[in-house]
Amino acid sequence: EAGVVQSPRYKIIEKKQPVAFWCNPISGHNTLYWYRQNLGQGPELLIRYENEEAVDDSQLPKDRFSAERLKGVDSTLKIQPAELGDSAVYLCASSLDGPLLTTDTQYFGPGTRLTVL
């Protein structure tokens, strides 16, 4: 079974430029997460989708960050414009949630390492 796929794996841009990351979750997983991981820190949740609905975006900096999950499958995370402090690894994860499940393991992709110069 294919895991969570992310692209690109690495991205270098200059500040004030836009950037976008793409994620394809594990087939059948209805919940998708975007995390940001700064150097030496653990991942921090940016946004969580259940199908195509964003159910938790309280940590997403909405002035410059946006995300979408059209049709409840693939997702795109965008930053416009990027700032120096946005340099980090952006991780996508997915899980299979349902009314009978009490533990929903999140499966992570390899991440996109963003460097803003």
Partner 1 sequence: DQQVKQNSPSLSVQEGRISILNCDYTNSMFDYFLWYKKYPAEGPTFLISISSIKDKNEDGRFTVFLNKSAKHLSLHIVPSQPGDSAVYFCAASEETSGSRLTFGEGTQLTVNP
Neighbouring C-alpha atoms within 13 Å toward the C-beta of 99: 0
Write out the E strands in the chain: 5-7, 10-13, 19-24, 31-37, 44-50, 53-56, 65-68, 75-79, 88-95, 107-108, 112-116
The residues with which 96 forms a beta bridge, in sequence order, are none
Q: Output the smallest distance, CB 102 to partner 1, in A.
A: 5
Of the pair 48, 69, the CB lying nearest partner 1 is at: 48
For residue 6, give the nearest of 67, 60, 76 by alpha carbon. 76
> Among 1, 2, 42, 100, which residue sits at the site for partner 1 (rule: CB under 8 A)?
42
Q: Which of residues 45-64 bind partner 1 (CB under 8 A)?
A: 45, 48, 56
Q: Output the smallest distance, CB 89 to partner 1, in A.
A: 9
> How far apart (Å, rounded) are the C-alpha atoms in residues 110 and 64?
24
Beta-carbon contacts of 110 under 8 Å, excluding residues fewer than 6 positions away, are 6, 9
Q: Output the smallest distance, CB 11 to partner 1, in A.
A: 15
Of the pair 81, 115, the CB lying nearest partner 1 is at: 115
Of the pair 14, 97, the CB lying nearest partner 1 is at: 97
Q: Output the smallest distance, CB 52 to partner 1, in A.
A: 16
Q: Kindly list the residues in this chain that would bind partner 1 in the complex (CB under 8 A).
A: 4, 31, 40-45, 48, 56, 91, 93, 95, 97, 101-111
